Amino acid sequence: FSGTYAPGSTFKPATACVGLQLGKITPTDTIYCSRKYTYYQDYQPKCLGYHRHTNVVRAISVSCNYFFYELGRRCGIDKLNEYCKSFGLGVPTGVEISEANGILAGKEYRKQIGSYWNDGDTLQAAIGQSDNTFTPLQLAVYTSTLANSGNRYQAHLIKEVKDYSLKTT
């Protein structure tokens, strides 16, 4: 509850959902992965693979960084973070005990720590790197929200206690 960790590629479905919701991609649109992302002159990260024409489903299945660099750039960090908060990332879950808030990478966080945000930082944030850190419970709430068609449920330690006869005590 108090530890926060970089989510890595588990964050990519969030980026996919944001891109789909904003109309930046459709389920059938493809982005061409040429391995080296060259949109910015001064920052050109690489994908671990060479996936060529990749749609969102394949991008998730092969964990194509290039696809999510491009999609993150199209969405922008502000929109990514707006939607990610609604997934429960970087915000308290409300569980009954104290918990860490986690961190959503972005301009707001960088300002808090006396730093600044570069456009290229959005690329790393879109694949679950940069300053992103979340509690395991936040990640569980997020994946539950994905699995439940966007319905986010309140996290609890325990719903009810039953005795051996399965009667609520």
> What residues are annotated to the active site?
9
CB of 134 within 8 A of CB of 109? no
- The C-alpha atoms of residue 27 and residue 19 are separated, in whole angstroms, by 10
- The C-alpha atoms of residue 119 and residue 24 are separated, in whole angstroms, by 18
